[in-house]
Amino acid sequence: MLKQAIGRNPHLPAAYLALAVTYSELGREEEARGAATELLKINPTFSLELWIERVHFKDPLVTERYLAALRKAGLK
């Protein structure tokens, strides 16, 4: 579904972000890094620090899981 969203709108940073998390969690590091690279092409000022300020999951463990996956994908 994320690839379909990107196919419809290749400038959708949230789709690349979710794809990076998904690939990272599946152990597909190269693809996760690729999605992170595309995210940074669209939004070169992206940072985990700013992202965490805007995103609020009810469960803090979910936030930590996302952060770990995004770091594993190479995002800072």
Could you read off the pLDDT tens digit of each residue along the chain, which spans 76 residues? 999 999 999 999 999 999 999 999 999 999 999 999 999 999 999 999 999 999 989 999 999 999 999 999 999 9
pTM for this predicted structure? 0.92
- Number of structural domains in the chain: 1
**CATH number for the domain including 62?**
1.25.40
pLDDT at 27: 98
Q: Which domain holds residue 12?
A: 2-72
Which of 4, 24, 25 lies closest to 15 in space, CA to CA?
4
pLDDT at 67: 97
- Give the C-alpha separation, 16 to 27, whole Å: 16
